[in-house]
Structure 1
Amino acid sequence: MAGRDDGEPIDDSFDDEELERALEGFEREFQENRDGTAQDGHGDGNDPEHDLQQDLSEFEHGLTFDEELEGLLGDKAKLAMLCTRLQDADLLAAFCALADISAQCVQANEGAVAVLRGLDGNAPESAAQDLTKVVAGLSALLVVNRADKIEATVYMGGQAGEQLPPPFVFPTLAPFVEDMMLGISTMDGLRDSGADIVDTNSIDHDGALSIIARHTRFDGPKGHVE
């Protein structure tokens, strides 16, 4: 037993009982607060557990989160572009429309570029194959960012050709290609800067043929459209 300054002993069992009573009081208070919170939740129509599950569900199924995760895993490309030597964005958009490729085509002195919407799986590669198959004689450089790895592949006649180091090809392309691939620029930024952008979704089949006819002036297209 421990002693006090006046020499009288301290009753250790009394201290233990006090501690037990304090713990019991704390447990009762905790349980009462918990029950009160649950009742408040039911009273105002808010179930904390339900709200948590709903928040987690919305987070897990959020479009931005899903896209970011797929981009990191490489299941979905973060960005994909078809770079051509065509001088007009509307002509590239017309070709893309005929090939059933959804894209936003950007005018550039170095050659029009199609920023692809289809990024799942091998959709970018399929788009490159379809475009260069539908438009005979047209070659395109597919630049893709998957899981922060950028690849550049030449396509012609529906076939994939040589893979080129991106640092070597970027200087030959419109500056925004590299900027967007590196995350420095976005489509919204291009649009705000006044870039000439043609959406393939705004062109139907007849409209595509009309655009192609206007550019070829009936003198014979450089490439045959199948």
Structure 2
Amino acid sequence: MHFNDADLDAAMADFEREFDQSQASPNQGSQGPDSGFGQDDTLFAGDSTGESTDQPETQQSIEASFDDELQGLLGNKAKAAAIITRLTSAELLAAFCQLSDISAVCIDDPQGAVAVLRNLDGDSPEAAAKDLTTVVSGMPAILTVNRADKLEATLFLQGQAGEQFAPPILFASAAPFVEDLMLGITPLEDILSDRKSFDSADLDHDGALAVLAKHTRFGRGNSSIS
């Protein structure tokens, strides 16, 4: 999706209008005839122990959400990014991510474990794919990114970007949930609810090495890294 200046100005105006309305809503709620507040409730809402104490935190949350939406619109922050592998274990992929300093939730799938990236700013997804395929030399991985509603899929090997794939080709060969995740059809929380997953943040360096030992010929696991 491509935006011209007029489209961007209109989108900015919509964001600012929604932002202003969300700031005004706490004050309007106690005055409207359909607010559901009686006199006592109104007094409580304005009391120092009531909801007003949460307004600064709420405002910060609104501002952060606004900034995320704006950066996503401009393409400065990806809406979603994932690294698709042929690893047979998401636990092993999480260990590789930890050793590569990548923050990700890794999800098991028979077609290959997938790392859903947390850092979506700028070229961070590309940097993650480069780091992962550098640390795990010889392991190919496909990075898929949704920026400003434009999907890209790129093969990485030994830290280098290579062939690009059309999204339909990628989705046909990847885990079924990848398409839903990248298109924003299914939230990550729903995907994780019925799938086995491992978080790279739950491992330290020694823990990651222990996982590697378990899944290689030095341990008792039988996971493949091809």
Deviations 1:83-118 (A, max 9, x none): 000010000000000000000000011100000001
Where 1:62 maps in the other structure, the secondary structure is helix
Where 2:198 maps in the other structure, the secondary structure is strand
Contact 1:60/1:66 (8 A) holds in 2: no
Give the corresponding residue for 1:213: 213
Contact 1:129/1:160 (8 A) holds in 2: yes
Task: Compute the displacement of 1:58 (Å).
Answer: 3.0
Where 2:82 maps in the other structure, the secondary structure is strand
Q: 2-side partners of 1:60 and 1:175: how far apart? A: 33
Give the corresponding residue for 1:103: 104
In the alignment, structure 1 segments of 5+ residues that lack a partner are 1-43, 46-50
Contact 1:82/1:113 (8 A) holds in 2: yes
How does 1:128-139 map onto structure 2 within 5 Å? 128-139=129-140
Change (3 A) 1:75 1:171: same
Where 2:116 maps in the other structure, the secondary structure is strand
Task: Compute the displacement of 1:63 (Å).
Answer: 2.1
Where 2:156 maps in the other structure, the secondary structure is strand
Task: Select the structure of larger CA radius of gyration.
Answer: 1
Task: Compute the displacement of 1:217 (Å).
Answer: 3.0
Change (3 A) 1:160 1:58: same
What is the identity, as a one-letter code, of the residue corresponding to 1:135?
V
Deviations 1:154-210 (A, max 9, x none): 000000001110111111000110011111111111122x21110000000000000
Give the corresponding residue for 1:147: 148
Task: Compute the displacement of 1:218 (Å).
Answer: 1.1
What is the identity, as a one-letter code, of the residue corresponding to 2:211?
I
Does structure 1 residue 164 correspond to structure 2 residue 165?
yes
Task: Compute the displacement of 1:67 (Å).
Answer: 1.1
Q: 2-side partners of 1:79 and 1:150: how far apart? A: 9
What is the identity, as a one-letter code, of the residue corresponding to 1:161?
G
What is the identity, as a one-letter code, of the residue corresponding to 1:64?
S
What is the identity, as a one-letter code, of the residue corresponding to 1:83?
I
Q: 2-side partners of 1:182 and 1:222: how far apart? A: 29
Contact 1:101/1:200 (8 A) holds in 2: yes
Q: 2-side partners of 1:113 and 1:84: how far apart? A: 6
Contact 1:105/1:113 (8 A) holds in 2: yes
Give the corresponding residue for 2:125: 124
Q: 1-side partners of 2:223 and 2:88: how far apart? A: 14
Q: 2-side partners of 1:89 and 1:120: how far apart? A: 24
Give the RMSD, CA atoms, in angstroms: 2.5
Task: Compute the displacement of 1:221 (Å).
Answer: 9.5
Contact 1:94/1:212 (8 A) holds in 2: yes
Give the corresponding residue for 2:33: none
TM-score by length of 1: 0.70
Q: 1-side partners of 2:84 and 2:122: how far apart? A: 20
Where 1:153 maps in the other structure, the secondary structure is strand
Where 1:77 maps in the other structure, the secondary structure is coil
In the alignment, structure 2 segments of 5+ residues that lack a partner are 1-45
Does structure 1 residue 77 correspond to structure 2 residue 91?
no
Q: 2-side partners of 1:222 and 1:165: how far apart? A: 27
Contact 1:59/1:65 (8 A) holds in 2: no
TM-score by length of 2: 0.70
Q: 1-side partners of 2:61 and 2:108: how far apart? A: 37
Percent identical residues: 53
Does structure 1 residue 184 correspond to structure 2 residue 185?
yes
Contact 1:95/1:131 (8 A) holds in 2: yes
What is the identity, as a one-letter code, of the residue corresponding to 1:70?
Q
What is the identity, as a one-letter code, of the residue corresponding to 1:204?
D
Q: 2-side partners of 1:186 and 1:197: how far apart? A: 15
What is the identity, as a one-letter code, of the residue corresponding to 1:216?
T
How does 1:37-56 map onto structure 2 within 5 Å? none
